[in-house]
Chain A
Amino acid sequence: ETGVTQSPTHLIKTRGQQVTLRCSSQSGHNTVSWYQQALGQGPQFIFQYYREEENGRGNFPPRFSGLQFPNYSSELNVNALELDDSALYLCASSLVGPSGRGEKLFFGSGTQLSVL
C-alpha cells in the first residue's frame, strides 16, 4: 500500500458532463501529479501541483484542470467529457526537495472513468 487514496474507484458519465476526481496524498509528500492511462498503454502525464500551484503540464487541453489543497490533497476536474476521456486516472504523490527534484512517485489505485 502506498498511502495514496483515490475516490471514487469507478465512475460512469455521459458525453458533455463534468467530473471531479479526488486524491489524498501520502503523508509527508508535498507534490501531486495526475496521469491518464488508456487501456493497454502506459500512463500519460496530465499535470503536477506543488505548493498548490500547477508547475508542469502535459499535452492535455484546458478542460482538464486541477487543484491542490493545503493538506496536499488534490482534485482533477474534467469538463465537457468526450468518449476518448474514458481511462484510468491515476494520482501520484512525491516529496520534492529544495532542489526542485523529486524522488519516486507513489501511485494510488486510480479511478476508472467510463464516458458513454
Chain B
Amino acid sequence: GESVGLHLPTLSVQEGDNSIINCAYSNSASDYFIWYKQESGKGPQFIIDIRSNMDKRQGQRVTVLLNKTVKHLSLQIAATQPGDSAVYFCAESDGGATNKLIFGTGTLLAVQP
C-alpha cells in the first residue's frame, strides 16, 4: 500500500483563497470516490462523494472533479478558512461486494490567517 511516512504532501494557502487538492487513483474499475477531512485526534469526516457516471459534483464551498481518462480526482475548497486546516484524503471503491475504501496518502492543508 501507499507509504509516505510522516512527510505528507502539504498545501499552504492564505485565508480567503481557493484551495485545490489533487489525488490520483489506481484502479480503473473504481466507480465511487469520496473525500474525507481528518483533524488531529479525530476520525475522517465525510466531505463529498461522486460516482463514476459524473464528472463534477458541488457541495457547500466544495467541488469534486473526476477525470476518469487520467484517473484523477480533485477537491476544490472555495474561500478557504482556518477551520479547513486538516489532512484531506481521497478514497476509491472498486465496486466489489464489500464497501471497502482504498485511501490515498493524504494532503495536509495549512491555512494561513
Q: How many angstroms from the CA of A109 to the CA of B6 in the assembled complex?
A: 20
Establish whether residues B89 and A42, one from each chain, have CB atoms under 8 Å apart when the complex forms: yes
Q: Mostly helix, strand, loop or mixed at chain B's interface?
A: loop
The listed residue with most A CB atoms (<10 A of its CB), out of B34, B44, B49, is B44
Determine if A40 and B100 form an interchain contact, defined as CB atoms under 8 angstroms apart.
no
Give chain A's interface secondary structure class.
loop
**B residues 43-94 in Cβ contact with A at 8 Å:** 43-46, 49, 89, 91
B51 shortest CB reach to chain A, Å: 10
Give complex CA distance A2, B4 in Å: 28
- Chain A's closest residue to B98 (CB) is A56
Contact B4 A43 (CB under 8 A): no
| Bound CA–CA A48/B101 (angstroms) | 11
Report the tally of A-B residue pairs with Cβ distances under 8 A.
79
- Chain B nearest CB: distance from A33 CB in Å? 6
| Central interface residue in B6, B101, B105, by most chain A CB within 10 Å | B101
> Which residue of B is nearest A96, CB measured?
B99
30 pairs across A/B with beta carbons < 8 Å? A2-B43, A2-B45, A4-B43, A31-B99, A33-B98, A33-B99, A40-B4, A41-B1, A41-B2, A41-B105, A43-B101, A44-B1, A45-B100, A45-B101, A48-B98, A48-B100, A56-B96, A56-B97, A56-B98, A56-B100, A90-B43, A94-B99, A100-B97, A101-B32, A102-B99, A104-B46, A105-B46, A108-B43, A109-B42, A110-B42
Seen from chain B, the residues whose Cβ lies within 8 Å of a Cβ on chain A are 1-8, 32, 34, 36, 41-46, 49, 89, 91, 95-106
Binding site for B on A (CB under 8 A): 2, 4, 31, 33, 39-45, 48, 55-56, 58-59, 90, 92, 94, 96, 100-110
> What 7 A-B pairs are tightest by C-beta distance, nearest first?
A56-B98, A42-B103, A107-B43, A102-B99, A40-B6, A109-B43, A107-B44
